[in-house]
Structure 1
Amino acid sequence: MEKIELYDVTIIGGGPAGLYTAFYSGMRELKTKIIEAHDALGGKLLTYPEKIIWDVGGMTPIRCEKLVEQLIEQAKTFDPTIVLGQQVVGYERLEDGTIMLTAASGEKHYTKTVIMAIGYGIRKMAKLDIEGADRYEVTNLYYTVQELEVFRGKHVLISGGGDSAVDWANELEPIAASVTVVHRRDSFGGLERNVTRMKESSVTVRTPYRLRALHSQDGKRINEVTIAHMETEAEERLQVEAVVVNHGMRSDYGPIRDWGFNMGEWNVYVSEKMETNIPGIFGAGDFANFTSKVRLIAGAFTDGVLALNSAKLFMDPEAFEVAFVSSHNEVFKEKNKALGLVAE
């Protein structure tokens, strides 16, 4: 008979919420597993590696890729088991109360509690709805800005009006020959400060317009685009050397929607202790929705701590409600010595 390895906590999702929860789970001396559907940890931060993040407490402005690196290093402090490339699709509670999770590939995972940190589900970039657009994805049609230097000295058109479109416009403005932002609405979804910065810079903002057609002289690279006014349908052709599309993400929770969660369109409703309506399963990060929700990375960290504390009490009602702070936590004594931070 197959030997079952049982974990105290299984965290589904390896983004900021899941990674910090894994670290905190180690502080509470729990046997921990992370299961991530993609082949790398980092969650949606991986989509924007060069984006600058300002709002993580105690940290100066940092690029996404560096923040991901540091979150992963921190998450590995207590050696959790990490499983990549498995999408969890099913759960079953066994007779002894153990939760059995099933991946799409058939693998089984056994755990006492689960923390759902899956964001908005499996995320995919919304592709440009123009026939033949995919042929340019290998040349100069982009759905994310991976390396700023690729756009140096080029005439760049950005289609979209959310946070990322605004951020990319601001990041590219100093290095591109020109940046034009085309958006269907007059209002933008980015932070007000960033939208103001974009509008006060040399970025050309065209609203309310949409990207209607792509044009190529050789069939390989986009040389011009047609944009159309949303109301009058009046068209204009613009010369470009790179097109960046940010039309949002398409997310799908898949079979998880059938688990019986009390869910809205985008996330699951949880208590102030991050409890879902399914005993032993808790939420954190974008997946969790509650009245005082803080949609910042800092909020995701706090969600994870609350969810983990609730999981600990679910397993042991007599346990301490929270972990001791790291400066007084016994589990860090040897680690501090190993790092040479305290005297032997």
Structure 2
Amino acid sequence: MGNPLELYDVTIIGGGPAGMYAAFYSGMRDMKTKLIDANQELGGRMLLYPEKMIWDVGGVTPTLCGTLTKQLAQQAQTFDPAIILGEQVSECERQEDGTFLLRTASGRVHWTRTVIMAIGYGIRKMAKLEIEGADRFEVTNLHYTVQELDAFRGKHIVISGGGDSAVDWANELQLVAASVTIVHRRNEFGGHERNVTRMRESTVNVRTPYIVDKLHSRDGNLINQVSITHVESGRSEILDVDDVIVNHGMRSDFGPVRDWGLNIGKWTVNVNTRMETNTPGIFAAGDFVDYDNKVRLIAGAFTDAVLAVNNAKLFIDPGAEKVAYVSSHNSRFKEKNRALGVIEEDRH
């Protein structure tokens, strides 16, 4: 084809848990790998919640999300994949020989035999608090994420929202704050059942069905009070606050990916059990995919990634092994084990 570009076996688009694990596992399959992400660092959605405690990854004791993100990023680089950050892939063009040219918004071009889409819910932005003038407090005490729990120690906190993150933040902050009030427009919360129960049984002041509808400031720089209003009766009251945390979900946009001819619904792309999309050679993993019995946990993203990589390998080489050897028997780890001081038994 005379293409001067370097050809990769697989290019992973997205650097969240599925993308990072795919980069690691493709190394186990001895595939020449590239990962491209629009963010300036690996982590995907996990970057928004560094202080959340992660409990549900097999074999991993409760770990801060920020710590787990760093560990996954380190693991992703085990076999030295090419990692391109700060680049959004905007075009995907299939060539006559079946390979793909990927173009980014900046004009860079990448050449690959297969593609794994691990883009989550696309470009995501926090839904802002829809109160006039609220944005001026974003530089002081109106927050859309929690970076450090200790910054809220001894303070009176109001959380607006009712999803997973709002519930998780309430549970974590009530351990360090003077008080935590969570305000949600519905009586039911969207978080995992066990976490909601834990919150309701804790010292968190649960106010439902209410909304935060006014912010009050004595000096124009800090929020000192908020008005909350009962959505049914219209009754309002004022709460004293030191900080306000808003979690009203995310607004997502797949952007130009919707023009690639993939079978994308409102939030996800349809795949089969091999993580194949409707375009041969393009696979997907993680929150971006939907199929029967899909598990929306980090552990589920890892499984998706393994399936996508294995089938990308078979797409390139139908005669290849269907799966990688486990790490204890995989020759790719021999040198790495020696570097760690591990002495392996001679099994001849």
| Class of the TM-score when normalised by the shorter of the 2 chains | over 0.9
Match of 2:224 in 1: 223
Match of 1:254 in 2: 255
Paired amino acid for 1:28: R
Match of 2:164 in 1: 163
SS of structure 2 residue aligned to 1:20: helix
Match of 1:61 in 2: 62
Question: Following the alignment from structure 2 to structure 1, what is the Cα–Cα distance between the partners of residues 275 and 343?
Answer: 36
Paired amino acid for 2:128: K
1:343 CA displacement: 5.3
Question: Following the alignment from structure 2 to structure 1, what is the Cα–Cα distance between the partners of residues 161 and 9?
Answer: 43
Match of 2:337 in 1: 336
Paired amino acid for 1:163: D
Q: Does 1:321 align with 2:318?
A: no
Q: How does 1:254-293 map to 2 (within 5 A)?
A: 254-293=255-294
Match of 1:117 in 2: 118
SS of structure 2 residue aligned to 1:293: coil
5+ residue gaps in structure 2?
Answer: none
Q: How does 1:298-313 map to 2 (within 5 A)?
A: 298-313=299-314
Match of 1:244 in 2: 245
Deviations 1:248-272 (CA, angstroms, capped at 9, x unpaired) = 0111100101111112110000000
Q: Does 1:28 align with 2:29?
A: yes
Deviations 1:85-114 (CA, angstroms, capped at 9, x unpaired) = 001111101222220011111111110000
Q: Does 1:213 align with 2:214?
A: yes
SS of structure 1 residue aligned to 2:97: coil
1:144 CA displacement: 0.4
Question: Following the alignment from structure 1 to structure 2, what is the Cα–Cα distance between the partners of residues 183 and 250?
Answer: 18
Deviations 1:49-103 (CA, angstroms, capped at 9, x unpaired) = 0100000011100000110111011111100000000011111012222200111
Question: Following the alignment from structure 2 to structure 1, what is the Cα–Cα distance between the partners of residues 336 and 196?
Answer: 44
Question: Following the alignment from structure 2 to structure 1, what is the Cα–Cα distance between the partners of residues 344 and 243?
Answer: 56
1:2 CA displacement: 7.3
1:195 CA displacement: 0.7
Higher mean displacement: 135-144 or 231-240: 231-240
- RMSD in angstroms over aligned alpha carbons? 1.1
1:219 CA displacement: 0.2
SS of structure 2 residue aligned to 1:265: coil
Match of 2:200 in 1: 199
Paired amino acid for 2:70: E
1:174 CA displacement: 1.6
Paired amino acid for 1:180: T
Higher mean displacement: 91-100 or 294-303: 91-100
Paired amino acid for 1:334: E
Match of 1:16 in 2: 17
How has the CA–CA distance of structure 1 residues 343 and 298 changed in structure 2, closer, same or farther, with 3 Å as cutoff? closer
- Superposed structure 1 runs of 4+ greater than 4 Å apart: none
Question: Following the alignment from structure 2 to structure 1, what is the Cα–Cα distance between the partners of residues 23 and 203?
Answer: 43
SS of structure 1 residue aligned to 2:175: coil
Question: Following the alignment from structure 1 to structure 2, what is the Cα–Cα distance between the partners of residues 150 and 330?
Answer: 47
Question: Following the alignment from structure 1 to structure 2, what is the Cα–Cα distance between the partners of residues 256 and 264?
Answer: 12
Question: Following the alignment from structure 2 to structure 1, what is the Cα–Cα distance between the partners of residues 297 and 180?
Answer: 28
Question: Following the alignment from structure 1 to structure 2, what is the Cα–Cα distance between the partners of residues 101 and 2?
Answer: 13
| TM-score, normalised via structure 2 length | 0.97
Q: How does 1:51-200 map to 2 (within 5 A)?
A: 51-200=52-201
Paired amino acid for 2:124: R
5+ residue gaps in structure 1?
Answer: none
Question: Following the alignment from structure 2 to structure 1, what is the Cα–Cα distance between the partners of residues 108 and 197?
Answer: 49
SS of structure 2 residue aligned to 1:236: strand
Paired amino acid for 1:143: Y
| TM-score, normalised via structure 1 length | 0.98
SS of structure 2 residue aligned to 1:156: strand
Paired amino acid for 2:211: R
1:321 CA displacement: 0.7
Match of 2:38 in 1: 37
SS of structure 1 residue aligned to 2:114: strand
SS of structure 2 residue aligned to 1:247: coil
Paired amino acid for 1:169: A
